[in-house]
Chain A
């Protein structure tokens, strides 16, 4: 049961094959078993069981709230949850219990979903590994998969397995690990430069970043307000569409949500035919750092579309190479501004120094933030100085507009969706990852994902195949603004073609048979 998709388990609940409480307990027990993954910061066991109880009553009375009723979900620990600690994996917010729910959390609860807990991340979502939070790094469930272990056994040079675990990617690594390890059916991440899509790719999941303005940010503790969007992590595209259907829509509490009517619910048709589609391949995304495996899968995916009758075009996004530096300026500037409220006065951490208000601010912020956060605040404040504002911030805004226009031009040339890699390679071992600092890593790892955030477009990472090492590789589809449904429809067709294998975590699971029962054969079309 745990290995099923959200859609499948939802059907099982409706048919009474399992009750919400049973499902909740199974997930809770698996959360305990997989504690070493460090996916959760807070497990809201009591809350979840109570919600399950209420859900059960509804099912008994035939008053189910819909597809999400009774479904265990997890939420990244940078979404405010009423009465449940929300830390952003930072000392600054350790012990902070918000008095309100983020709009997206409230919407999930209103649909009957069960909140299993709050998931781990990089401090304030600043990172691409889920390694830089105060609660320690998140371990990628694939490190313990049969697929990966078998490959490693074949490798005579393989080192000690236990110290060789892989990162999840990030910053929503906790949410990705939670879904990947079957402890819940969907999880909320946040996506500012790729933070949902990147861990989705590394954990073999669907990672969806909706159009900016489609889903409310109210209650999401911001990284970069003008780029943040709540992200969705699920095991398949249909599940992502179900969750999107529950979350999308205008919110009077977020003035940047759009009021135009959006097609709801997000039911995805099954495309029988892709011959009317035009897929764009941005030539600037073919960079030397791209691993040969990802590169080869990318081109095979393009060939697949071509062979099924779709038009595949090479397109140019000429300002791509400026994207990372531009993102750095805009991101750090907003970070400097957004972090100004953490002064220790009203909530969160406060130091013991009280010689003056200024000294208290300084010590509080020094103790509360890690080096990554402090570094970004410092550079952001530098860019916002009166003497630098024109040279950095304003220029970066102009470049941002050029990058956004690149996409507009590509779509205007007749392209329906763009196909790109999500990451440079598969997940790397933690010990490998920390050889580079956070800033270098973020710059490298966000390379295919953050331009989309600058343009506010919808994008989704779809797991495609396992690498030679037995690790997932994802590819990214980028759609037109507010054409989220069209994007997911194409992604769904692609997902069906590639038949990505289910992670085999027998040793971790109580109910091994449940997983095995759903095990699909390794993909045919794209398997190397």
Chain B
């Protein structure tokens, strides 16, 4: 990655949030960070973490890590960037290959309008300057799944530059405070994806699948403003949410629609940047954070032990949890960049530059695309905070889980319960059950309607909250019963017969004279024991507040 640029354009806030174990950031020292802020032109509010070796000695230098990301997002489009072949995941090998994709001699690239629009849209959402004129270049290297021997990309003049992405990292005792941070976006470029090589070690042969060859990619290049795995992970997660909200990429990392390479180096604050390594094969957000933190620690250990860092490409092995040098990528590549002669400059227009009488099919109007931008995650979060009075961190959680926001909104539509109650149930109970069983929201056995009905019963004081938990557990068993049915079958309605409850309290006091004695001796906490016993006797159907009131009355009488 090139030297950091000091220009920072921040026109909006794009936040994300992820709960990452604080320890993974190696935060052991009080952050100072001002020196390196100057060096790297950082604009984050929070200070960056500093690193030390495992056993800090007196007078030792602190380490700071510098992380930059190159993110490849597959553009969600019907056809490829320069050919009419379809784009589809998991199609039979080599079934989506045009003559151009196979690089048959004499074929020429024809730019896909949809891909350009997706790039403009993404650039706008990331506060980029959209270049009215951008160029395509050839990047040469020999590889079996690169049939032309070069990739068409945008090296000299990319479609979008100088943007920013705002995300939020957790801080505070319970990791409940969200601190907004910003990473600058150097550029977004359009480029072709390569095919896939499948190595058959048994027969020692390589098979090539060109279905992916030529699919449009957005390469989003972040400036090295990140300093640990957590920051990288949350920034990528936010980008993923934005791309999904825009519909410009499905950004599914497991399907390879979002791929991240990380450039990592460590240095002492105030000193020049260290030699960087590039870590590839980061195919999940969790591994991204792990790999970066591993690599930072590896570099620190290496340097502490008098070693040196090689400018090399490393790959992350998720089974071993470590990065390893990629032998086949050894040696410096000279990509011999050259302008792509078969594509004229890509010219975009805005309302002021649009030529009169231009054929709308032949021109792309940036302002028109700006108008079609959907609500971005940051705005959605703000809306949730405003509309439902929820905490900002809760809004982050709602957006971070696929489908959770929709689930929440569907419950809200059908229930009379307070938004705070709903938020709490969705984020604690519902999400807790999902996580425990490792299920996605779409796989949940509890429907939004069922939860809404349950919360209504709670709201109308038909059942106690303890009983509600019980009902929820029953619902989770997928027996097809409604909350109402479960409540009546199990007789979980709140016990509202005061006389019966008074009777029960009376007999409980008689059965436990020792507790009553404790109380009378001046141990007010002993009442809780009695309340618990009464509740148990009512199968949690009685309101604890009412039990307490009755007991207190009886004790004082």
Contacts and interface: CB of A to CB of B under 8 A. Distances in A.
Do they bind each other? yes
Contacts of A336: 336
A345 B338 contact: no
Given A333-B338, A334-B341, 5 more contacts: A79-B106, A259-B362, A337-B338, A342-B105, A345-B147
Interface residues of A, number: 46
A358 B344 contact: no
B149 interface: yes
Interface in A326-347: 333-334, 336-337, 339-343, 345-347
Q: Is the interface of B mostly helix, strand, loop or mixed?
A: loop
A384 B342 contact: no
A253 B336 CA distance: 26
B275 interface: no
A220 interface: yes
B343 A255 contact: yes
Contacts of B149: 337, 339-341, 343
Interface string B69-109: 00000000000000000000000000000010011111111
B109 to A, nearest CB: 7
Contact of B138 (A224, A337, A342, A361): A337
B106 A346 contact: no
Contact of B108 (A96, A253, A384): A253
A185 interface: no
A353 to B, nearest CB: 14
Contact size range, B: 20 to 34
B341 A225 contact: yes
Contacts of B208: 345
Contacts of B335: 386
Contacts of B343: 255-256
A476 interface: no
22 contacts: A80-B105, A98-B105, A98-B106, A99-B104, A217-B108, A222-B105, A253-B108, A255-B108, A255-B344, A256-B108, A256-B341, A333-B338, A337-B336, A340-B142, A341-B105, A341-B147, A342-B105, A345-B147, A346-B147, A357-B206, A384-B338, A393-B338
Nearest 9 CB-CB pairings of A with B: A340-B149, A384-B336, A225-B341, A226-B341, A221-B105, A219-B106, A341-B103, A80-B106, A341-B148
A334 B138 CA distance: 10
A389 interface: yes
A73 B487 CA distance: 89
A376 interface: no
B109 A255 contact: yes
Q: Which of B99, B107, B140, B337 has the most CB of A within 10 A?
A: B107
B153 to A, nearest CB: 13
Contacts of B104: 80, 98-100, 347
Contacts of A99: 99, 104
A357 B105 contact: no
Contacts of A343: 142, 149
Q: Is the interface of A mostly helix, strand, loop or mixed?
A: loop
A255 B142 contact: no
Nearest to B336: A384
B509 interface: no
B427 interface: no
Nearest to B148: A341
Contacts of B338: 333-334, 337, 384, 393
Contacts of B341: 224-226, 256, 334
B148 A254 contact: no
A418 B384 CA distance: 72
B155 to A, nearest CB: 11
A381 B333 CA distance: 13
Contacts of A225: 341-342
A12 interface: no
Contacts of A100: 99, 104
A386 B139 CA distance: 12
A13 B247 CA distance: 59
B255 to A, nearest CB: 26
A271 interface: no
Contacts of A84: none
Interface in A197-225: 217-222, 224-225
Contacts of B108: 217-218, 253-256
A102 interface: yes
B111 A255 contact: yes
A253 B108 CA distance: 7
B399 to A, nearest CB: 40
Given A337-B138, A337-B338, A345-B208, A255 B110 contact: yes
A385 B106 contact: no
